[in-house]
Structure 1
């Protein structure tokens, strides 16, 4: 059963459209020129028919409930009040002694035009609001899936890596030890990949704030040094004492680039330089080369994924990511405060 508000909204629109048609055609004069007939009768008639069709659509569609139908009617009424004011002005001028031909026609045409325009605005608002809610629902599903994947997969990989470590301690076979070492490295790569994908799959709700860039870079370097070889990461001192407006995604991006550079036993150097009104942060991996002797991008296996993740994070942080192929480096371009 159709809701009362929905049926009432449709009835108002159709009655308004039919009334407009009756008034418009009552003023039809076949002696007028074709241009006058087109502008004065045909075009307004199309607008009135549009209102009738809109009311019929409200009745038959499954896309609306009572609340959204009422909202569209409210916009139609607002349009009538807004544009219909011009018709009211015509009546006022007539009372002041001005000659206004067919004042009822003028009022009806402006009211119909305003109602149809308001309905269009209401339809757009309802449609965009529905799209936004659908996107929010899909986002919630993805966030839930991301949390499940991160929790179960990382827990499973941590157990697997622990068992690999135990197996290495219990064997003296050099070949088995080498295979277990390789399994451990590949397992760590999977953990890193899951963490990187989770970083960009999560919600981006952190507002931008002023960030002390040298402090941020030193903090990310020290965090990685705590779990890796201290000599694997170096900082090109001194770093410029600047403040940038960014979000926590900037630190995550730097961390991803550093891990990418350190993949498979690599090294990384962090540097920064003032560039006009902005600053360039470089993460360079000088030790990795291609088989032909030319320099390559950062990282070993999975570096393309790392760069893609970093690109998304840098964009969230309000910067731009540039890959300096000739120098084996990746540059983050930021604006200073």
Structure 2
């Protein structure tokens, strides 16, 4: 059960009083016994009682002091307990000594009692001495702690840049440091020990928003310690005994120690950070304004330069700005801000009368916060314009590497020095102005060239007669008309300008919406091409190839169309005539293949049946017949291949062909056909070349030519193949008489052969035509050691395919 503090104190005081009374009664009874029973002197007894009496009086004073000073009840009770215990111990010791003497020695010994009391005194003295030493040590440690505390508060916390308030649980100010007085301009000693709410009126008076400041702090105090860490900023205004500064307030509850339940408040000077943040924000604003000006493509160069001057002079805090072009000894004002400044746009002034002459002379940026103090020789400048200049910032402007002029800012009063960042921004402005002026100059030059080109193009287009070249507006109406259009379509400009392009199409095409479809394709794809019938003014029709190109401006908006029309009627008629001739050649090819070749095969077969069954005289004629029949069959086969090249679509198509397969097959055929000949073959790498099913005819004719034109009894032919870049190179070399140099250039012509040469004279011609159809080449040369060498170059299939794809892309 818990006992209240007051009850504990009362019990302790009662115990102490009871002990005192018991001791006093015992002493008084001893005096009485000495006087009455033993007849001792009363004076002697009182003198004997004086010392214990004084102790009892002192003891009573202590008990009264404990009660009146409102000591903690537990402490009073502890004193009473120790007093009772010690008294009981001393009495027990005395009883022990007296008991021993009475029961065992039949009397008391004064010496023993004295020694016993001395022992008690010795023990109590020892304890008291130990206690005194310990108290002394504690006192010295306390003094050292207090010294350290004073050193910390005075030497450290008082010298801190952070203003500190320490509040106890009741909200009273128990300690502040020197920074509080410096920051808020208050008397440090005057606020110590006062409630913080009273001190608030004095500290709040120093800040920019005192009401807001008080409300925020009072809300923390009203929360009765439940608020955790608080943080906000306040602006201290300059005043009596204080400087302007920004402070960051941070406070938190004290959770342990002497001031548990109170709060500690910190005020940190963040003026430098705020100023830095303000500078950064100001710089960011300037950069945003610059970016907005530089990226505003809706304004022309002069408008953006004027905006740039406004941004620069506001940033510097100067009143005037200008961009000037320096030429010879004169300054021409290109732009000024404000525009009504005495140095007006378009005006010209002597360079010697301007502050800019220093920039022109040195070729470097110049800045003067106080012109008369830093550049006295320039103080008379601009006097003719009634302008007083005291502060100046200027930098050179270069266009295409040459000095154009200056970008300058002026102030009539001495100004603040321009820092490096501002100077860098201004120099960037100067660089941008120079770049924009250079771009404007080149743009003007390009526009001039473009105007001249347009005039030349218009003149050229107007004089073209082979093509109808005219413009349409975005809705498809005619906007221009050239000479070729008049020539081809028969209309004069006055008859077609403003008319819709539908008027040039046949009625069926108009009803099908072909004009609108072609314009829509050109609008979506950028360009479209077509062929078809068109109508002239006289109603006659002509076959035309037409291209329509969409014309767009720099923003991508459609401005109209350019239409180019060419009369292809004659060409179409020629193509139709060639197609007719091709059909006739195809008819002849069929006759040769099916009629003549079949008839010659029948003759050769019947002659073969007669062989060996006729007289020797007839056999010689029969052999001649068979020889001529074979020649005719060879001629028919050659003509058939040649006709196939000219007439069949297969002769125009190409595909990848394995070169080794073709060469191996033809070499093997030649070995079987010519028993006396030796045909050597060096296989090529595994490559594919451009060809078709007629490619074997090339090498069959070359091998036959190498053997038949060879005068050696045992002809030797060497066939080799290799890859050279994107080509395959095949050579067919023999050891014959070679090629007559006089016939070398004509050897691949039609019908060329020697008088004694077998064959038709069309073989090498066919070879050349076939190789040319594959985009290859063939040539012949004599070998140094005798014989002829034919070299065929064929494109590799992959390269050829890539080439075709590229050509198709170009044509599209």
TM-score of the aligned structures, taking structure 2 as reference length: 0.27
- Match of 1:318, SS state, is coil
1:319 to 776, 779, 786: 776
In 1, Cα distance between equivalents of 2:684 and 2:545: 57
2:791 corresponds in structure 1 to 331
- Match of 1:170, SS state, is coil
Please state how far the C-alpha of 1:52 moved relative to its aligned partner. 7.1
In 2, Cα distance between equivalents of 1:217 and 1:256: 12
- Match of 2:772, SS state, is helix
* CA spacing shift, 1:328–1:67, aligned 2, 3 Å: farther
1:237-263 Cα distance to aligned partner (Å, 9 max, x none):
x32214132112322211222233344
2:700 corresponds in structure 1 to 255
2:717 corresponds in structure 1 to 269
2:661 corresponds in structure 1 to 215
Please state how far the C-alpha of 1:145 moved relative to its aligned partner. 0.9
Please state how far the C-alpha of 1:224 moved relative to its aligned partner. 4.6
In 2, Cα distance between equivalents of 1:144 and 1:182: 31
* CA spacing shift, 1:49–1:272, aligned 2, 3 Å: closer
2:582 corresponds in structure 1 to 139
* CA spacing shift, 1:305–1:224, aligned 2, 3 Å: same
In 1, Cα distance between equivalents of 2:649 and 2:544: 38
Larger C-alpha radius of gyration, 1 or 2?
A: 2
In 2, Cα distance between equivalents of 1:51 and 1:193: 49
In 1, Cα distance between equivalents of 2:488 and 2:761: 55
1:15-74 Cα distance to aligned partner (Å, 9 max, x none):
xxxxxxxxxxxxxxxxxxxxxxxx9xx99796786467479xxxxxxxxx9989982239
- Contact 1:272 1:279 (8 Å CA) reproduced: no
* CA spacing shift, 1:66–1:254, aligned 2, 3 Å: farther
- Contact 1:244 1:334 (8 Å CA) reproduced: no
- Contact 1:284 1:328 (8 Å CA) reproduced: yes
- Contact 2:683 2:721 (8 Å CA) reproduced: yes
* CA spacing shift, 1:233–1:315, aligned 2, 3 Å: farther
Higher relative contact order (CA 8 A, sep 6+): 1
2:677 corresponds in structure 1 to 232
Alignment of 1:61-80 (within 5 A): 71-73=533-535
Aligned length: 252
In 2, Cα distance between equivalents of 1:256 and 1:48: 54
* CA spacing shift, 1:162–1:271, aligned 2, 3 Å: same
Q: Report whether the alignment pairs 1:152 with 2:595.
A: yes
2:688 to 244, 257, 267: 244
Alignment of 1:46-125 (within 5 A): 50=487, 53=490, 71-73=533-535, 120-121=565-566, 123-124=567-568
What runs of 5+ residues in structure 1 fail to find an aligned partner? Answer: 1-38, 56-64, 87-92, 94-109
Q: Report whether the alignment pairs 1:196 with 2:638.
A: yes
- Contact 1:210 1:243 (8 Å CA) reproduced: no
- Contact 2:532 2:543 (8 Å CA) reproduced: no
* CA spacing shift, 1:215–1:49, aligned 2, 3 Å: closer
Please state how far the C-alpha of 1:218 moved relative to its aligned partner. 0.6
2:76 corresponds in structure 1 to none
* CA spacing shift, 1:259–1:213, aligned 2, 3 Å: same
In 2, Cα distance between equivalents of 1:148 and 1:78: 38
Q: CA RMSD in A?
A: 4.6
TM-score of the aligned structures, taking structure 1 as reference length: 0.58
In 1, Cα distance between equivalents of 2:630 and 2:710: 13
In 2, Cα distance between equivalents of 1:78 and 1:323: 43
Comparing 280-289 with 196-205, greater Cα deviation is found at 280-289
Please state how far the C-alpha of 1:216 moved relative to its aligned partner. 1.3
Please state how far the C-alpha of 1:195 moved relative to its aligned partner. 0.8
1:165 to 582, 604, 608: 608
Please state how far the C-alpha of 1:201 moved relative to its aligned partner. 1.2
2:731 corresponds in structure 1 to 282
In 2, Cα distance between equivalents of 1:54 and 1:253: 56
- Contact 2:654 2:690 (8 Å CA) reproduced: yes
Please state how far the C-alpha of 1:185 moved relative to its aligned partner. 1.9
* CA spacing shift, 1:147–1:138, aligned 2, 3 Å: same
In 2, Cα distance between equivalents of 1:77 and 1:170: 70
1:205 corresponds in structure 2 to 650
* CA spacing shift, 1:53–1:169, aligned 2, 3 Å: same
- Match of 2:765, SS state, is helix
- Contact 2:771 2:794 (8 Å CA) reproduced: no
What runs of 5+ residues in structure 2 fail to find an aligned partner? Answer: 1-458, 464-480, 493-505, 510-530, 537-541, 553-558, 748-752, 799-812
1:204-253 Cα distance to aligned partner (Å, 9 max, x none):
53532322222210112334555x245535233x3221413211232221
Please state how far the C-alpha of 1:187 moved relative to its aligned partner. 1.7
In 2, Cα distance between equivalents of 1:52 and 1:306: 50
Please state how far the C-alpha of 1:150 moved relative to its aligned partner. 2.3
In 2, Cα distance between equivalents of 1:275 and 1:193: 33
- Contact 1:270 1:281 (8 Å CA) reproduced: no
Q: Report whether the alignment pairs 1:301 with 2:758.
A: yes
Please state how far the C-alpha of 1:308 moved relative to its aligned partner. 0.7
- Contact 1:268 1:283 (8 Å CA) reproduced: no
